[in-house]
Structure 1
Amino acid sequence: MHLYRERAEMSPDTIGFALLLLGVLLLLAKIIRVKWRLAQRLFIPSSIIGGGLALILGPDVLGRVASAFGADGFTESGLFTADILEVWGSLPSLLISVVFAALFLGHRLPGFREVSTVAGPQIAFGLTLASGQYVLGILLALLVLGPVFGLPVLSGALIEIGFEGGHGTAAGLGNTFAEFDFAEGQDLALGLATVGLLSGIVIGITLINWAVRTGRTTELHQNATPSVTEQAGLVEKQRRRSAGTLTVHPSSIEPLTLHFGLLAVAVIIGWLLLSALQWVESFTWAGTIELFAHVPLFPMAMIGGIVVQLAIQSFDRHEVVDRQLIERIQGFSLDTLIIAALGTLSLQVIAENLGPFLLLLVTGLLWSVLSLVLLAPRMMPDHWFERGIGDMGQSLGVTATGLILLRIADPELRTPAYPAFGYKQLALEPFFGGGLVTAAAIPLLANFGAGWMLGGMVVLLIGSLAVGLLHFGRRRQPPGEPATVPFEQA
């Protein structure tokens, strides 16, 4: 029997119940995380566990098992109805705009000199990782995925979309994939994002242990491991802090409501910008190519967030915007997005394209790991492992993956890795990992072909490598000297 009775038309009750089910799955996932030691040791997020539960109970697992045993009532959509799965399928493209609109809200936007001083090496290394994913992916598409497996050249963007972009970006580009007759690309990208996130944690912790044993870390030493409470995803009572600050009195407006309103304004600004660009394009070159017509909303919502933050820095004298509340809304949106995206993931598509999927997966993993081990020591002037491990984790999953690994390698945040990572995000997020370049990659490949995209990324890869190796790498300090930018100053 289904959890909810099917109806002929989508109703508000169906939408509400679909959202409630996501909350129940997330709660069950957190209980599993607290009780399951393997999930704790691997730092698997509850959203991934919840998404796995939704996937198992859905049509591709429970539905197929039920079909094999003749239980026809579960074959179409598993334990859920088709309407619930339809609601879940539409959520990621909505929530990803909220996630990206929140990236810069509440963060003081630094000046160019400040960013370049603290995060110059980090930006060069991050650009190397991102552009390299495109170069290797497009070469793989041209040489193997197309000729051998018959996939379009658009598959060359899957490594960056799935790994650097993560679940949110992969889900948010669903309509773009469909518009260019590559709907299976979304499922492949979501699969890469899932395996990449888990691999990022497992490989990252393995590399941290290796670096500690071989003396490559500057702060973490042998036997310094996270506590049982931290592995369970709990915060010890004596270390707990408020999830937000009451910057306005609730009698006038609930602080959470105020911050949601700011995010709404950021998303609307992004929508207006995208609509304006699409209108301009319709009167210029739309007769020959279309670019902005296929760009999704979320990168423009991020620009809207920057516009709102600039206004806040200029006019918010009372400092009513609290970054922690923004992060709570962003975190809720991302958790809900991930579980909804995984719950509607098509395992059949991945199974039908298992060869290309494995090739993309192995290529992306090798590039990130080898970049950390071989390039980071030569591109970072100091604390190369702490700086590099965060970028490697983020290039395989999401920002949270990089931060988890960074905090394990530098638990007291004594190195410049944490502020450099944050400034690097400010510089690169507008373009890669779900930014404008990521969003435009599919239309660019479709309209201009692989040659132009490959050539541009090769130039960017060579340039970032040159800056990192020949400029920042030569600033390496003698052992024993302090970091160029202590964390306290940053």
Structure 2
Amino acid sequence: MFTLLNVLFAFVMVGILLLVARFIKHQIKILQTLYLPESIIAGAIALILGPGVLGAISVALGVSPDSSLTGGLFPEEMQAVWSESPGVFINIVFAALFLGETIPNPKEIWRKTAPQVAFGQSLAWGQYTIGILVTLLILSPVFGVNPIAGALIEIGFEGGHGTSAGMADTMTELGFPEGGDLALGLATVGIISGILFGTALAHWGRQKGHIQTAPTAVDSGDAQFQETAEIESSRVLARRSSLMQNLLIDPLSLNFGFTGLAVVIGWLILQLLTLIESLTWGSGGLELIGAVPLFPMALIGGIIIQVVMKRLDLDVLIIRRLQERIAGVALDLLVVTALATINLAVLGANIGVFLSLAIVGILWNVLAFIFLAPRILPVYWFERGIGDMGQSMGVTATGILLIRMVDSDNHTGAFESFAYKQLFFEPIVGGGLFTAAAPALITRFGSISILFLTTGLLAFWLIFGIVNCQRTQKKLQSEQTEPTPPATMAR
């Protein structure tokens, strides 16, 4: 057990590690070129100085077991706090995802972003399909790995560090304790390879003439610091000032209250679903909700709060920039603590499984971008597709970074399409409901059944995307070939 003082010093140490990581990144050019977030560097430092690396080296060198070095530089209580943190902070990250966002008419969004949704969904369901297939044919027969491994590419690549850490407890409960460490390792490989391959593809796209805008390199700032919130109008600022008058509360505290409320609503939804399951299909032995974590429900809770506040004309109290900062701090804490507590022995014992999933995942994402994006995205396929590829290999910030590399002035509308796509994407995959339920579904129904399901969904989105692309291109061509009416002669 740990005390509140242990918790305080554990997070103080995370802050110090982030400062050290920022200094190191400023000194080492390659880390800047890779646009690695400081949280990943800080987590790697904590891992190296912890029991997994420094402690193991000390033991190998014959240092006395009583020496503090055998446990690394961080006290056992601090390690205990860190090990519990990822599963907590992932809920805050997802609760804030849609708070403060403008949620337009879904029909209008769909009309504009249907191709983007089709490509993003194809990438995600393809990760499941290829992951389960490789696990069935190679990994389980050769390495004896748990069938849940088939879901790790999507959890690690599409979901990222946050989802990987948040799913660790679920996979442990389902008898696959090494799954969390493997997913975190894949998430790390994904974000690095996403930036490396994305940068290489951007160069290739310029040479081949696939980029239709004048691109400029991202020469300042970091991926995680790029603002996505819109500049607020004077009307919004005046309305907020009126509502906040005489309220002695910091806007950040108020917005954290909305984030917390979203988590509570998500918890209530999860409890309600658990109750429904126990009274219906669960009474026959089919239990799924118990393996679903809280964070996708917290996302739904955030959407509910945003919609209700909009109806009450109080949505101006939710400040998107502050919600991004709340989620950003939570994500930094999550990534640092998750990486700091990776069990390297587990990765070493499963190196064949890890490398196989990493290679297959990278190949699928890169080849899908090259061959599928031009056939699904009717206009500006390169600029719009590279953002989805970046997100599917790392995090949303990676996708934004790659879009800025090829369309820094947003001439193509790629950023808006990428952003609106999340409304039809995040609630399902990439950390959404299916991502959370996938391990339980594989355990309950078997890999073959889920393979048929994911393959069917992949086929649906591919067919829809290709047909929709062809229709859109024909419509655009017909509009371009229509004769222009003659100008009226001046009298």
TM-score by length of 2: 0.91
Matched, 1:213 2:207: yes
Q: Which one-letter code corresponds to 1:28 in the other structure?
A: V
Instruction: Supply the distance in 2 between the matched residues of 1:48 and 1:478 (Cα, whole angstroms).
Output: 46
CA contact 1:368–1:395 (8 Å) conserved in 2? yes
Deviation at 1:162, TM superposition (A): 0.5
- Is 1:113 the counterpart of 2:107? The answer is yes
The 2-side partners of 1:479 and 1:35 are apart by 55
CA pair 478-52 structure 1, distance change in 2 beyond 3 A: farther
- Say if 2:174 is the partner of 1:180: yes
Q: Find the aligned partners of 1:371 and 1:256 in 2 and give their Cα distance.
A: 41
State the SS of the aligned residue for 2:372.
helix
The aligned counterpart of 2:456 is: 459
Task: Provide the C-alpha distance between the structure 2 equivalents of 1:234 and 1:303, rounded to a whole number of angstroms.
Answer: 25
Q: Please identify, of 107-116 and 336-345, the stretch whose mean Cα deviation from structure 2 is larger.
A: 107-116
1:299-448 to 2 correspondences below 5 Å: 299-317=296-314, 319-448=316-445
- Cα drift, residue 230 of structure 1: 3.1
Q: Distance in 2 between matches of 1:197 and 1:318?
A: 34
| 1: CA distance, partners of 2:478 / 2:57 | 60
Indicate the residue corresponding to 1:150 in structure 2.
Answer: 144
Q: 1:98 to 1:154 in 2, by over 3 A?
A: same
Number of paired residues? 464
Q: What is the aligned counterpart of 1:14 among 6, 9, 12?
A: 6
Deviations 1:361-406 (A, max 9, x none): 0110000000111110111110101100000000001111111111
Tell me, in whole angstroms, the C-alpha distance in 2 between the residues paired with 1:234 and 1:292: 36
1:36 aligns with 2:28: yes
Letter of the 1:136 partner, please give it.
Answer: I
- 1:297 and 2:294 are equivalent in the alignment: yes
Q: 1:205 to 1:437 in 2, by over 3 A?
A: same
How far 1:77 sits from its partner (Å)?
2.7
- Matches of 1:375 and 1:425, distance apart in 2: 20
Which residue among 186, 189, 192 is the counterpart of 2:186? Answer: 192
Instruction: Supply the RMSD in Å over aligned alpha carbons.
Output: 2.1
How far has the Cα of 1:41 moved from its partner? 0.9
**TM-score, normalising length from structure 1?**
0.91
CA distance in 1, matches of 2:153, 2:479: 39
SS of aligned partner of 2:378: coil
Which ranges of structure 2 fall in alignment gaps of 5 or more residues?
A: 481-491
Q: Percent identity?
A: 45
Shift of 1:299: 0.5
Q: Tell me if the contact between 1:58 and 1:77 (Cα under 8 Å) persists in the aligned partners.
A: yes
Contact 1:59–1:74, Cα closer than 8 Å, also in 2:
no
Q: Deviations over 1:43-94 (max 9, x none)?
A: 1111111111111111111111111223332454311122111111111111
Letter in structure 2 aligned against 1:169: T
Give 1:452 shift: 2.0
CA distance in 1, matches of 2:90, 2:224: 24
**Equivalent-residue separation in structure 2 for 1:439 and 1:166 (angstroms):** 13
Following superposition, the deviation at residue 269 of structure 1 comes to 0.3
Deviations 1:442-462 (A, max 9, x none): 111111111221111111111
Q: CA–CA distance in 1 between the matches of 2:253 and 2:424?
A: 29
- For 1:431, what is the secondary structure of its paired residue? coil
8 Å Cα contact 2:37-2:222 kept in structure 1:
no
Instruction: Give 1:111 shift.
Output: 1.5
Q: 1:358 to 1:473 in 2, by over 3 A?
A: farther
Q: Which of 77, 87, 90 is the matching residue for 1:96?
A: 90
Q: Choose from 133, 157, 169 the match for 1:139.
A: 133
> Bigger radius of gyration, 1 or 2?
2
